[in-house]
């Protein structure tokens, strides 16, 4: 217990009645003090960097929200629409924090085109291989299959977001990799249709 107490005092400003009695003990104590100073400085620097990072992220979030609020104010939008916009912005930022997309990883954009094609093939091939058409393409033409995977993109939507509306042209196809998508027809008596992970939708 005494030795542990003495060791702790070397890393803190605390004092103890045990002191060095010769040159060897004094040199040992000085070396421990320097080690303690180094460890404490490293720990303090790490905490400071983490706090600065969190502060920067918070400032960026507030800056985006203030910009949206300013636009809403400048355009004199209604309170109801402005609230919907702010709620949607916050939901989207929350979803983006939960899942990282390849488009958000800047170094990946500088990779050679063939490596990016291989990357997209490994990422998207397991997603689309359940579709009969793309499964047939993969079996018959690997180059075409890789080109299709390379053309695909990722997107995340928060709960309540509208992916597309009724009557809009079907220019994209969606593969659900998580969560549930619900088809709803406003003011209709028909029951809502749901699609789950592994399903696809919006085919031409």
Question: Which residues, including other chains, have CB under 8 Å from residue 153's CB and lie 6 or more apart?
Answer: 103
Percentage of the residues of the chain whose pLDDT score is greater than 90: 20
Q: Half-sphere exposure of 104 toward its Cβ, with a 13 Å CA cutoff?
A: 10
Query: How do the residues of the chain divide into helix, strand and coil, expressed in percent and rounded to 5?
Result: 60, 5, 35
Lowest mean pLDDT among 49-58, 129-138, 172-181, 194-203: 194-203
Per residue in 35-55, pLDDT tens?
878 888 888 899 999 999 889
156 vs 174: CA distance, rounded Å: 11
156 vs 90: CA distance, rounded Å: 13
Question: Which residues, including other chains, have CB under 8 Å from residue 154's CB and lie 6 or more apart?
Answer: 101, 102, 103
* 5, pLDDT greater than 80: no
Q: What is the pLDDT of residue 125?
A: 93
Q: What does DSSP assign to residue 127?
A: H
* Arithmetic mean of pLDDT, 144-164: 85
pTM above 0.75, yes or no: no
Q: What is the pLDDT of residue 204?
A: 46
Q: Mean pLDDT score of the chain, rounded to an integer?
A: 83
Lowest mean pLDDT among 14-28, 86-100, 101-115: 86-100
Q: What is the pLDDT of residue 191?
A: 65
């Amino acid at each position: 217990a005494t030795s542990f107490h003495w060791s702790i005092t070397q890393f803190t400003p605390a004092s103890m009645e045990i002191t060095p009695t010769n040159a060897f003990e004094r040199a040992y104590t000085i070396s421990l003090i320097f080690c303690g100073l180094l460890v404490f400085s490293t720990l303090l620097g790490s905490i400071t960097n983490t706090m600065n990072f969190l502060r920067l992220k918070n400032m960026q979030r507030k800056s985006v929200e203030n910009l949206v609020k300013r636009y809403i104010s400048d355009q004199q939008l209604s309170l109801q629409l402005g609230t919907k916009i702010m709620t949607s912005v916050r939901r989207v930022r929350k979803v983006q924090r939960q899942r990282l997309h390849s488009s958000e990883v800047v170094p990946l954009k500088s990779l050679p085109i063939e490596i990016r094609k291989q990357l997209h093939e490994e990422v998207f091939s397991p997603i689309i291989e359940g579709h009969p058409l793309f499964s047939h393409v993969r079996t018959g033409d690997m180059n075409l299959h890789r080109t299709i995977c390379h053309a695909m993109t990722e997107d995340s939507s928060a709960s309540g977001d509208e992916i597309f509306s009724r009557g809009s042209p079907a220019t994209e196809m969606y593969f659900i990799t998580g969560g549930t998508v619900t088809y709803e027809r406003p003011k209709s008596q028909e029951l809502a249709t749901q699609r789950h992970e592994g399903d696809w939708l919006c085919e031409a």
